[in-house]
Amino acid sequence: MNAQDPAPKGDVTKTANIVLNGKQSMMPVRSGSIGPDVVDVGRLYRDTGCFTYDPGFTSTANCMSKITYIDGDKGQLLYRGYPIEQLAEKSNFVEVCYTLLHGDLPNKVQYDDFRNTITRHTMVHEQMTRFYTGFRRDAHPMAIMCGTVGALSAFYHDSTDINDPKQRMIATHRIIAKMPTMAAMAYKYSIGQPFIYPRNDLDYTSNFLQMCFAVPCEPYVINPVMARALDRIFTLHADHEQNASTSTVRLAGSSGANPFACIASGIACLWGPAHGGANEAALKMLEEIGSVDRIPEYVKMAKDKSSGFRLMGFGHRVYKNYDPRAKVMQATCNEVLANLNHRDPLLDVARELERIALSDDYFIEKKLYPNVDFYSGIVLRALGFPTSMFTVLFSVARTVGWIAQWNEMMEDPEQKIGRPRQLYVGPKERPYTMIDRRA
């Protein structure tokens, strides 16, 4: 995050002319480094008295960003220009965190310094533990995460002045470092086991595994294949342009809310089954299908709008080709199951469901492919996590994307509070009537 580096300005390459209600608006068209141009509609209302209308923002860019680029038609995903396939194979999650935050891969000194800083922020204030005991043991871990992450702003007053770049950096390091600790605490609380403290001698992901699965009664041995697989899964989930939860974090941050509260808003949004909650929903769907012979009835339901059923882990707002993360996830799935000598019949169901869906005209025509959530549940279950923890793991990984996007927004001189308008279709003005004169 180079504070002196102003937000990128898309070059104005042409103009779009719109004539409406007898009024004209000449709108600049801006080009980025790659990807679609944007029509800057900032002056449309002033010139024509009309708003744009785009529910779900299917054709709307809400910011300029240098962090992540997606080409949905090619199935391409770049973090700061580096292809996700190469990062998943050659990098590690902490190095990806540095790259997303600072713009380039770190050199050895930068990497070691960043890794040590994150390591030393993994503990939480001891009083944080009291928040957990207020929840029922069967509380969904995402409910716990929404509450406890927001509560961090009650502990770190020295890193909530959002206008101080140093405080933004401390808050950034704290939230990236503490999310695994708090996620592990949510899991331990749900199974009635004692919290396990972080260990500074372990790498980020191994530390998370031991905080989740170690018990005080015996040493915990890290399985390097599991640690490597989970680290790669964190990399796959780290950022994804202006998805729903990232846009939520940006909107919350645009009002000047502190970073911990903004991340809590991202966690809340990610929980939805249409978004990050899909990994939990996808595994539940595979369990409900249960066997390969029941797939046709579910595919039939997915094609019948009136059923209200959708294939969870399929389809994407941006990817109209195979989600590149799903390919890496599938390979990781095979690697983990083979290493653990673990056969999961749900993998057979998932593979057959994918084969059938990808050869069905309905899915081909609508360009519905498996997304990052389709195979992740099978891998995470094989790693020992309960289904209820799947979206929590997603939130641990996505925290770096959220906070990197939040920082970019905070450093953007053009940023202002987000305040969309609407197309009003309600009643026109009418007088109040006393209750004894109403029908």
Residue located via tokens 């002196």? 4
Q: Whose Cβ is closer to ligand SDX: residue 227's or residue 249's?
A: 249
In whole angstroms, how close is the CB of 313 to ligand SDX at the nearest point? 5
Q: Whose Cβ is closer to ligand SDX: residue 63's or residue 211's?
A: 63
The C-alpha atoms of residue 334 and residue 49 are separated, in whole angstroms, by: 56
In whole angstroms, how close is the CB of 367 to ligand SDX at the nearest point? 8
Q: Whose Cβ is closer to ligand SDX: residue 5's or residue 297's?
A: 297
Q: Which residues are 70's β-sheet partners? A: 77
Q: Look at the alpha carbons of 239, 244, 250, 252 in this order and tell me if their dihedral is positive or negative.
A: negative
Q: Which residues are 370's β-sheet partners? A: 314
Angle 372-382/390-410 helices, nearest 10 degrees?
130
C-beta of residue 79 within 8 angstroms of C-beta of residue 416: no
Residue in 336, 351, 348, 350 with CA at minimum distance from that of residue 381: 336
Q: Which two tokens stand for residue 135?
A: 């929840």
Task: Tally the C-alpha atoms within 13 A of residue 61's C-alpha that lie toward its C-beta.
Answer: 18
Q: Which two tokens stand for residue 415?
A: 């940023």
In whole angstroms, how close is the CB of 97 to ligand SDX at the nearest point? 16
In whole angstroms, how close is the CB of 372 to ligand SDX at the nearest point? 6
Nearest residue relative to ligand SDX (C-beta): 315
In whole angstroms, how close is the CB of 371 to ligand SDX at the nearest point? 4
Q: Whose Cβ is closer to ligand SDX: residue 178's or residue 316's?
A: 316
Is 373 designated active site? yes
DSSP state of 82: E
The C-alpha atoms of residue 209 and residue 186 are separated, in whole angstroms, by: 13
Which of 239, 240, 316, 323 is catalytic? The answer is 316
In Å, how far from its chain's centre is CA 129?
26
Binding residues for ligand SDX, rule: CB under 6 A, are 56, 240, 243, 274-276, 278, 302, 310-318, 366, 368, 371-373
C-beta of residue 36 within 8 angstroms of C-beta of residue 53: no
Which helix (H) or strand (E) covers residue 15, if one does?
strand 11-20
In whole angstroms, how close is the CB of 304 to ligand SDX at the nearest point? 9
Is 316 designated active site? yes
Strand order from edge to edge, sheet including 38-39: 11-20, 23-31, 38-39
Q: Whose Cβ is closer to ligand SDX: residue 214's or residue 372's?
A: 372
Residue in 284, 289, 288 with CA at minimum distance from that of residue 273: 284
Q: Whose Cβ is closer to ligand SDX: residue 162's or residue 372's?
A: 372
Annotated catalytic residues are 316, 373
